Structure 1
Amino acid sequence: MSLTMPLLTRRPTALASLILLLGSASVLAQEAPQTSSGPTSAGREASANGGASARNLDPVLVTGTRARDRTLADSLIPVDVLSREDVLRAAGPDGTLAAALQALLPSFNFPRQSNSGGADHVRAAQLRGLSPDQVLVLVNGKRRHTSALVNLESKTGKGTNPVDFNTIPLSAVQRIEVVRDGAGAQYGSDAIAGVVNIILDDRRSGGELNTEAGLFHTDFKPTGRTINDGQTQSASVSHGWALGERGFLRAGLEGLHRNATNRSGFDELPPWEDSTPDNLATVGQRNYAAGEPATRQWQAFFNGVLELSTDQQAYAFGTWQQRRSTGAAYYRYPDAWANLKDIYPNGYRPQTTGDNRDLQIAVGLRGAWADWDYDLSLNHGQNDFDYGVRQSLNTSLGDTSPTRFHLGDFGSRLTALNLDLTRSVAVPGLSRPATLAWGVEGREDRFITGAGDAASYAVGPFDGPTGAQAGPGLQPDDATRRSRRVIGAYLDLSADLTRDWQAEAALRHDHYSDFGNATTAKLSTRLALAQGFALRGAVSSNFRAPSLAQRGFSFTVTDRGDGGELSQVRTLPVDSPIARYLGAQDLKAETSRNASIGLTWQPDRHWSATLDAYTIRVKNRITLSQRISGDGLAATLESLFGVPGIDGVNFFTNALDTRTRGADLVTQWTGAGPGGQWRLSWAASFNRTKVRPHADANVGLEELNTLTDASPRQRHILTAQWQGGAWTLLSRVTRHGSTTRVFDFGDGFVPTQTYAPVWQLDVEAQWQATRALSLSVGAVNATDRYPTRSIADIAYYGNFPYDVLSPVGFNGAFYYAKARFTF
């Protein structure tokens, strides 16, 4: 099987080859000796409970492999397994899943945003420094839907609508498996950087109540003040019920309330604002808000299995969230063109609002049929985001302007039907049966946007900016409905070739109704060289289909240009006639070639170490083009298309290729030590991305900076945990590598700054007061560290003294107390 095959083809040869291989596999299966009618003990545990118990020191993996007995110790590819306890302790001030992943995994980056429009409400995460939409997210092994919101103002993930990790309740997690390797041949689109599989709580009995309260307490040097804010309260409750001998139902509910934070500096008044008495009176005040959005949310989950017979099970699971958040936008000065002093005599700072509703429901049947273990499932996910702004104005409407606007509706849908079959196959010459798996998937994706209030984009009769400030809203012509259908099939064969040599091969073909075909393949292997010492490696081809948002999103900003005439800057779908005229082409899938090689060492049951080096070459990465504008553009477009006043256009394009090289190191030791049991670990990630723009690419310096230097090239996490008697003490030291910010303000003015590496200390002490009650206190960023201060050209005239790029954040120390009661 060649891994140099083209990933995308409109020819039927790839599909024919796959059908031929599937047919051959069926023949092998029919010729194999009969096996037991049900799953193996390990396979049944993984099937019924979403994987092995977290109490197992070497759990059976269910992600990144179809083999039913592959454990963490003999994995062919790098996999991180995070326990429920790890995740709950690492959630930090956010109290969210993505924050826990960043605290535990050096290759996972979850940068904060502020004054970034929709990105204040839906934050994007990265794996191995790649794009947020190049990591696949599963829940109980089923594909998770993406967020509906398209981020156009964020630094990380601009132009993407990836999965929102924080829509998954933290209390729902049993464990998390993170595959740090390309997995497109196993799961289809999006798995270029890897796979994150969140396995839901499957405890069959007992209940648990968790509460937490905390706040930021920091000495903020830019203003010389001590600040207490970001007060956070959260609570969750869950309970499990046994259903028959092996069935269960687990359900839970949680709520969170978090106040906003503000780390703005003293205002210096930007030079383009008039030096009027009222404007000058704002100098030295904190007029802006740089920090976390205020958030209120409710979440719920359930996870259940019902035994239908000895060999058959029905299962279902689901998650739900309702989150309302309030972000910040730039301050408008009293005598600014964007203000009406009759409404805001002292100026105003708009607040963006987000109403995020998220749902995933999956049902299925699994068990044994003939000699096969099967899993038939129907999975539906949807995300709806209502975007708005308050404390705002449409100045062109004069004193009749509303101060609150609805800016638009966004919707994302995914419905998937999957059939997966697995069985053991006797292969001549092998001492153990191989594992054969194959499956098919049918999926429909949809993306929907709806217009905002008429006043949010209206052009009124008065002098002043048009549309809602910190908006504007989507116009009726921007509303879109896009859908696609996907049919995929895969074949996977895993075998122990000898006692010391294992290998796995996978092949997948997907057909997309809106752009064509994709064929991917993967080969991975592991060779034991000595007792506890092994060499492993993998090569794969992967792809990411252009999202429906990138194919169909439309957005228009209308304002008054020279001489008071109306002008528009439009983000257009690539298939619109105007975009076509300006050079837009159908988006291609991003394709990658991944290769990795690693060493694993486990000399005894107390100590293990892994080192994996990798390279990921991605072709045709999708970015948002720079604005196309110039003298005569509006007249040309009006004469050709009859659309007046368009002074600028941009659209999505396959603009460049990238190469990412890196290495991941994980080592840990557990055992008895002074006064109790110890667990020591060091995890580190190193990566670097280089960019090669296409010859005709129209890519800006800021976008190139985002892809290469805006996230840390290296992170180290050193953890020490001690448990003795009723006490557990945890200390985590993280070194976040340097990051670089580039702004391109035009006319050659490109302020650039590299922020130095920074150390972060997290600590926690837990006391098991009774068998049922435990109490904890702790601090995240206990030493109150901040990134490097931004230079004057980046700090926006004193208002934003710290950038959002560093994972240490810009809020300072967070102190918290927790209580857990089991019943």
Structure 2
Amino acid sequence: MLMLLPALTAQAQTPSQLEQVLVTGTRAKDRSLLNTPVPVDVLSREDLRRAAAGDGNLAGALQTLLPSFNFPRQSNSGGGDHVRAAQLRGLSPDQVLVLVNGKRRHNSAIVNLESKTGKGTNPVDFASIPVSAIQRIEVLRDGAGAQYGSDAIAGVINIILDEARSGGELEGTLGAHHTDFKPTGQRLTDGRSRELRAKLGHRLGDAGFLRWGAEAAQRDGTNRAGADQLPPWEVQTPANLATVGRRNYAPGEPETDSLQLWFNSGLRLAGDAEAYAFATYQRRKSVGAAYFRYPDSAANLRSVYPEGFRPQTSGDNRDLQLVAGLRGAWGADWNYDASLNLGRNEFDYGLRRSLNTSLGAASPTRFDLGDFGSRQLTASLDLTRELALPGLEKPATLALGAEARHERFETGAGDPASYAVGPVEGPAGAQAGPGLQPGDAVRRSRRVAGLYADLGADLTPALFANAALRWDHYSDFGSAGTAKLSGRYAFTPTLALRGALSSNFRAPSLAQSGFSFTVTDRGEGGVLSQVKTLPAGGAVARALGVPALKAEKAGNASLGLAWRPTAAASLSLDAYSIRVKDRITLSERLSSDALRALLAGSFGQPGVDGVNFFTNAVDTRTQGLDLVGQWLQPAFGGELRWSLASAYSRTRLQNIRASSPELAALGIARPLVGTEERNTLTDAAPRQRHLLSASWSGGDWQLLARATRHGKARRVFDFGGGFTPGQTYAARWQLDLEAEWKPAPGLSLVLGGVNVGDRYPSRSEADIGYFGNFPYDVLSPIGFNGAYYYARARYSF
């Protein structure tokens, strides 16, 4: 296959190294980087090391290297400040499947209700996977549900862990943002980072190994607030007016402190058998920002906070994946791989520097808002063999497999003060995050069983074809069957056509099916009022005509050309179309007098002022193009590598569901998907992204220059009352630079900068900038923190 070479590869490779055998998207052993029937990016350890400098985590590195990967920053977004969601090909964060060493990765437990991107999802937390543990990453940019099951609509990201049998590394990095912040006329230095990484390899027996390591990182928060102008609805008292011109808000990066541990191992047993095991663990604490409460606002008590207060959300995230298995030859023909895979995530959500105004001076200032937990236990068996078929010169490859999985999701209530309605006049519940109430605590589980068959063969010397079928059964919603047909035809040894057709699906997560949340406060006349997120398929939801969630179903089609005119150059172009039916979103908040009466009279829930719920509310169609090229040449006594990667995608909404007849009868007839969510699904992420890099290596030096053009994006807001301002943010260029010097064997010293031009997005217009406090949109593709500089030292032995 003459497909793309590693996008933006920074390290020099020989032609033989480029013929690396892939493990993602194909089960044929002779499918290398250059002859697979669908596009696969291969990112090396050195690629990731350089690209992770800005964000310090894996998803940030993937966004730097892959133009079709989007990892927007979140701020003042509740749980979204602590677990950021990523997108592939403009689809939802939970529509990409993540594997580690080919084994399914578990999702995060927290449900993001306030995030801008990925609202209502609980996707994989990329930040919980240590960058130093990775040997390479294979990114399959094509639907792969028939091969891997649920979630693989946009593609598959397979993270291959380091398996070096000897040697080790010690690495330390220091960095900080240093920027000219024009909204306040300040030169700011913040977001300081400190990172330490270590790893070591050991031989076990003749062919076994143990590779293990640790990472510790601390990152300070950033603040890109403008000068406060005091919103007009706040009273014009001397105390409130004294806040004008100050930086009262804190849009920016959260403060984080993390420790990560990992190992990867293999041990040769008798015969051809090999036992293997690997694990990753992270404990991460983070602090996010919330909106400022003014001194003389109804939300504040002057006796507690004389000058007002800005609450801070806190997250305590604990993440574990542990896998053990056995692989080898079974008889003369079959190879097997049997494994047991445990994934767990626990997230404790908290709040500090806040208060429950209704409790008066008795209110605590720190709150436990609730606990979230998820667990995934998977047993799998994969069998492969070569199969001689009549008329074929080479044997075909047949793969069969079975999987059994048990999933669990649970939530626990926050402390009583976080949701209590006290005797004092004022907002009830903890400011910036009322806690989960006991009645909303859930514990749900399900069983999943899957079977697949995969057959690939060279039908002629020029034509390779692959067919896959899969069947999955979920105990909570039923069965799903998927299929895929892909192929590659070589016109010449240097030019090939590739394409694929597939059906794919994504099962609704347990969090989306069962999550429940209630906000209680005083309404008009001091009467208690509630806004509820209803569990999908529950009694109240059924009475409102809201059915239980069903699986998202997708149809994928792709067609591409790959050209390798010389051993040192390659170019690929791939077009794709992805139709998603019954896409799951969180509905708008719905309310009416008749709804309030129904809930009070029929369900004994008085005072419910509004509801929302997860629903299969819309169909979408995403179309796009991916272009990747690379050229290697000798230059200046060394080797110069040019890399180009461009991505274009556009998502259109189709068949937006209206309210059910039951809701219409209650006076609620508007579409379930609102203005902001429509914008998030279509235009909030850039449709285009272009990456151009040049890396030179020679002697003791390596130099890298990388230019990224982030395409324009449009944001639309719904502030209520029919006020829906929007703004288009212009495209921006970003320049990253890095220089590496190796003064002695094993020693490497690096200086670099991300966004060294100190570029910012377009300034937000007055209707969107929240009275000067948010001068830049937090979802801007180029970010809102300005330039970041770093120094790194590494010793390899």
TM over 0.5: yes
Other-structure match for 1:754: 728
2:214 counterpart of 1:240? no
2:246 counterpart of 1:304? no
Mapping of 1:616-655 within 5 angstroms? 616-655=578-617
Q: SS in structure 1 opposite 2:676?
A: helix
Q: Deviations over 1:113-154 (max 9, x none)?
A: 000000000000000000000000000000000000000001
Q: SS in structure 1 opposite 2:744?
A: coil
Other-structure match for 1:418: 380
Mapping of 1:578-589 within 5 angstroms? 578-589=540-551
Alpha-carbon distance in structure 1 between the residues aligned to 2:15 and 2:278: 19
Other-structure match for 2:315: 354
Match of 1:543 among 485, 500, 505: 505
Q: In the alignment, residue 304 of structure 2 is paired with which amino acid?
A: I
Alpha-carbon distance in structure 2 between the residues aligned to 1:263 and 1:181: 38
Q: SS in structure 1 opposite 2:541?
A: helix
Indicate if the aligned counterparts of 1:54 and 1:84 stay in contact, CA closer than 8 A. no
Q: In the alignment, residue 376 of structure 1 is paired with which amino acid?
A: A
Other-structure match for 2:677: 703
Q: Which moved more, 1:741-750 or 1:168-177?
A: 741-750
Residues 433, 55 of structure 1: alpha-carbon distance in 2 compared, 3 angstrom cutoff: closer
1:608 CA displacement: 0.7
Other-structure match for 1:594: 556
1:674 CA displacement: 2.8
Alpha-carbon distance in structure 1 between the residues aligned to 2:620 and 2:400: 32
Other-structure match for 1:19: none
Indicate if the aligned counterparts of 1:779 and 1:816 stay in contact, CA closer than 8 A. yes
2:195 counterpart of 1:221? no
1:672 CA displacement: 1.2
Alpha-carbon distance in structure 2 between the residues aligned to 1:63 and 1:147: 23
Alpha-carbon distance in structure 1 between the residues aligned to 2:545 and 2:365: 39
Alpha-carbon distance in structure 1 between the residues aligned to 2:543 and 2:473: 29
Other-structure match for 2:666: none
Alpha-carbon distance in structure 2 between the residues aligned to 1:781 and 1:546: 38
Other-structure match for 1:731: 705
1:413 CA displacement: 0.7
Alpha-carbon distance in structure 1 between the residues aligned to 2:305 and 2:403: 56
Number of aligned pairs?
772
Other-structure match for 2:761: 787
1:627 CA displacement: 1.0
Match of 2:42 among 81, 95, 119: 81
2:608 counterpart of 1:608? no
Mapping of 1:278-677 within 5 angstroms? 278-370=239-331, 371-677=333-639
Residues 54, 96 of structure 1: alpha-carbon distance in 2 compared, 3 angstrom cutoff: farther
Other-structure match for 1:821: 795
Q: Name structure 2 gaps, 5 residues minimum.
A: 1-12, 660-670
Alpha-carbon distance in structure 2 between the residues aligned to 1:205 and 1:787: 46
Other-structure match for 1:143: 104
Match of 2:643 among 677, 681, 687: 681
2:743 counterpart of 1:769? yes
Q: In the alignment, residue 724 of structure 2 is paired with which amino acid?
A: V
Alpha-carbon distance in structure 2 between the residues aligned to 1:129 and 1:514: 28
Other-structure match for 1:187: 148
Alpha-carbon distance in structure 2 between the residues aligned to 1:695 and 1:650: 14
Indicate if the aligned counterparts of 2:231 and 2:771 stay in contact, CA closer than 8 A. yes
2:152 counterpart of 1:152? no
Indicate if the aligned counterparts of 2:472 and 2:479 stay in contact, CA closer than 8 A. yes
Indicate if the aligned counterparts of 2:546 and 2:615 stay in contact, CA closer than 8 A. yes
Q: SS in structure 1 opposite 2:620?
A: strand
Q: Which moved more, 1:637-646 or 1:188-197?
A: 637-646
Alpha-carbon distance in structure 2 between the residues aligned to 1:630 and 1:83: 56
1:584 CA displacement: 1.1
Q: SS in structure 1 opposite 2:308?
A: coil
1:222 CA displacement: 0.2
Other-structure match for 2:5: none
Q: SS in structure 1 opposite 2:782?
A: coil
Displacement over 4 Å in runs of 4+: 52-55
Q: SS in structure 2 opposite 1:745?
A: coil
Residues 607, 793 of structure 1: alpha-carbon distance in 2 compared, 3 angstrom cutoff: same
Q: In the alignment, residue 427 of structure 2 is paired with which amino acid?
A: P
Alpha-carbon distance in structure 2 between the residues aligned to 1:513 and 1:654: 19
Q: Which moved more, 1:798-807 or 1:426-435?
A: 798-807
Other-structure match for 1:112: 73
Q: In the alignment, residue 70 of structure 1 is paired with which amino acid?
A: R
Q: In the alignment, residue 106 of structure 2 is paired with which amino acid?
A: H
Residues 81, 335 of structure 1: alpha-carbon distance in 2 compared, 3 angstrom cutoff: same
1:636 CA displacement: 2.4
Indicate if the aligned counterparts of 1:212 and 1:817 stay in contact, CA closer than 8 A. yes
Alpha-carbon distance in structure 2 between the residues aligned to 1:246 and 1:496: 33
Indicate if the aligned counterparts of 1:739 and 1:805 stay in contact, CA closer than 8 A. no
Alpha-carbon distance in structure 2 between the residues aligned to 1:708 and 1:58: 38
Other-structure match for 1:31: none
Q: SS in structure 1 opposite 2:721?
A: coil
Q: SS in structure 2 opposite 1:633?
A: helix
1:676 CA displacement: 1.0
Q: Deviations over 1:754-786 (max 9, x none)?
A: 000000000000001111100000000000000
Residues 203, 55 of structure 1: alpha-carbon distance in 2 compared, 3 angstrom cutoff: farther
Indicate if the aligned counterparts of 1:54 and 1:175 stay in contact, CA closer than 8 A. no
Other-structure match for 1:694: 657
Residues 711, 315 of structure 1: alpha-carbon distance in 2 compared, 3 angstrom cutoff: same
1:247 CA displacement: 0.7
Q: Which moved more, 1:797-806 or 1:212-221?
A: 797-806
Alpha-carbon distance in structure 1 between the residues aligned to 2:781 and 2:742: 32
How many percent of aligned residue pairs carry the same amino acid?
A: 67
Q: Which moved more, 1:600-609 or 1:101-110?
A: 600-609
1:744 CA displacement: 1.1
TM-score between the two structures when normalised by the length of structure 1: 0.93
TM-score between the two structures when normalised by the length of structure 2: 0.96
Indicate if the aligned counterparts of 1:93 and 1:232 stay in contact, CA closer than 8 A. no
Q: In the alignment, residue 555 of structure 1 is paired with which amino acid?
A: F
RMSD: 1.1
Q: Deviations over 1:54-101 (max 9, x none)?
A: 982221000011111100101100000000000001002321000000
Indicate if the aligned counterparts of 1:391 and 1:403 stay in contact, CA closer than 8 A. yes
Q: In the alignment, residue 698 of structure 1 is paired with which amino acid?
A: L
Alpha-carbon distance in structure 2 between the residues aligned to 1:194 and 1:804: 26
